[in-house]
Amino acid sequence: MLVGYIRQAVIDGSCIEPACEEADISLRTYRRWAKGGNIVSDKRPDAIRTEPSNKLSEEERDAIVEVVNQPEYASLPPSQIVPKLADKGIYMASESSFYRVLHERSQVQHRGKTQQHKKHPAPSSYTATGPNQVWSWDITYCSSNVRGQYYYLYLIEDIFSRKIVGWEVYEDESGEQAADLLQRTVLREQCFKQPLVLHSDNGAPMKSVTLKAKMEELGISGSHSRPRVSNDNPFSEALFKTLKTCPAWPSNGFKNLEATREWINVFSIWYNEKHCHSGIRFVTPTQRHRGEDKRILELRNDVYKTARENNPNRWSGDTRNWGWISSVDLNPEKTEIVEKKAA
């Protein structure tokens, strides 16, 4: 618009330089903005610009703030709230718009006990295209209310669905107990003698002769992390983080072994049935394990497409990606390393 005014002034008989001085821009800036005969917008930081047609109204912003502060969503970030609204057939705004509105209202902060998320390298060498193909397992301690006393949680996770397929709490670590848990988990999941990979770190129970013998008996292949590299087992590590940053986690320790088992049982049900996992497009592990996630994601995509058709000015590009994740990798090969070896 400013360039147009200067051009009109020149047409009316003014020289370019005085016209540019009056507009408070240099002649060089004018020529850059009007380069090739195309007039571009005023690019000065303090320029007055028209509001975009897809800007949220004040009523829409108030509605977003009201929703995120409801008890149902008060402890969830927008990345969890938006999919839950989509499951109810509700579209209010994009996830980034939710964050932007909350930032304007000084309500952007981490909720619950979780810390700033850090991306971990994807795990390696095996690919799961369905449930019960690749499992990850590990052991973590659970503090008791007696100083120096711990209970040990053995936990097996399916990396494709992120479902907790097996767990048990014991008073110590041993290969015999790990072998017993593995057998019960295989029977429960009905995957006996099917191709299955069990990944773990290099702890003593994980590499015990008893567990190896049980894996051979069940037809399970073993996979281990590199020594002292916890990121090689990121699925179990991420699950333990979710476990121990859960608001209900007893920070003062567990009363006894039975109390620990009861708490882990409640957590595993919540995690499998209620928790919308960010790594699988915010569906629950059980939904993905049963193959229900495809339909859920299709319905979410329909909600977004309808919202775009009803208000196309709100969308500058494609709708949010609700595509189904067809495979999950455990330590994928790095392309650069493969190419160097090939050379």
Structural domain includes residue 33: yes
Per-residue confidence (pLDDT) for residue 113, from 0 to 100: 58
Structure tokens at 58: 């004040």
Per-residue confidence (pLDDT) for residue 338, from 0 to 100: 41
The pLDDT mean for the chain works out to 87
Among 80-89, 119-128, 295-304, the least confident range: 119-128
Type of residue numbered 278: S
Residues 154 and 258 in one domain: yes
The closest of 256, 255, 254 to 243, measured between CA atoms, is 254
> Which run of H or of E encompasses 222?
strand 220-224
Which band of pLDDT confidence, cut at 50, 70 and 90, is reported for residue 340?
very low
The closest of 223, 225, 215, 236 to 126, measured between CA atoms, is 223
Residues 251 and 146 in one domain: yes
Structural domain includes residue 326: no
Residues 309 and 226 in one domain: no
Structure tokens at 333: 């090969």
Per-residue confidence (pLDDT) for residue 41, from 0 to 100: 63
Residues 225 and 82 in one domain: no
CB atoms within 10 A of CB 177: 20
Residues 199 and 100 in one domain: no
pLDDT digits (tens, 9 = 90+) for 142-175: 999 999 999 999 999 999 999 999 999 999 999 9
Structure tokens at 186: 């295989």
What pTM, to 2 d.p., does this model score?
0.74
Structural domain includes residue 195: yes
Type of residue numbered 291: G
Residues 159 and 92 in one domain: no
Per-residue confidence (pLDDT) for residue 232, from 0 to 100: 79
Q: Which are the contacts of 96, defined by CB distance < 8 A and separation ≥ 6?
A: none
Give the CA distances from residue 12 to residues 6, 26, 40, 190, 298, in Å, rounded to whole numbers and listed in that order: 10, 20, 21, 86, 60
Q: How far apart are alpha carbons 208 and 178 in whole angstroms?
A: 9
Mean pLDDT calculated for residue range 211-221: 95
3-state secondary structure at position 270: helix
> Highest mean pLDDT: which of 103-107, 111-115, 203-207, 338-342?
203-207
Among 27-31, 117-121, 211-215, 265-269, the least confident range: 117-121
Residues 83 and 223 in one domain: no
How many domains are contained in the chain? 3
Residues 202 and 294 in one domain: no
Per-residue confidence (pLDDT) for residue 123, from 0 to 100: 44
End position of a domain, from candidates 249, 275, 301:
275
Residues 224 and 250 in one domain: yes
Q: What range defines the domain where residue 206 resides?
A: 124-275
Give the CA distances from residue 281 to residues 57, 276, 285, 291, in Å, rounded to whole numbers and listed in that order: 29, 8, 10, 13
Per-residue confidence (pLDDT) for residue 297, from 0 to 100: 97
Q: How far apart are alpha carbons 343 and 108 in whole angstroms?
A: 49
Per-residue confidence (pLDDT) for residue 26, from 0 to 100: 84
CATH number at residue 216: 3.30.420.10
Per-residue confidence (pLDDT) for residue 276, from 0 to 100: 95
Structural domain includes residue 209: yes
Structural domain includes residue 45: no
Per-residue confidence (pLDDT) for residue 23, from 0 to 100: 81
Residues 73 and 103 in one domain: yes
Structural domain includes residue 165: yes
CB atoms within 10 A of CB 272: 19
Residues 267 and 135 in one domain: yes
Structural domain includes residue 27: yes
Residues 131 and 271 in one domain: yes
Per-residue confidence (pLDDT) for residue 120, from 0 to 100: 46
DSSP 34-71: TGGG-------TT---PPPTTPPPHHHHHHHHHHHTST
CB atoms within 10 A of CB 307: 19
Per-residue confidence (pLDDT) for residue 337, from 0 to 100: 37
Q: Return the exposure string of 208-217: e unless at least 16 CB atoms fall within 10 Å of the residue's CB, then b.
A: beebeebbee
pLDDT digits (tens, 9 = 90+) for 127-145: 999 999 999 999 999 999 9
Per-residue confidence (pLDDT) for residue 116, from 0 to 100: 61
- Tokens 């049963």 belong to 290
Structural domain includes residue 328: no
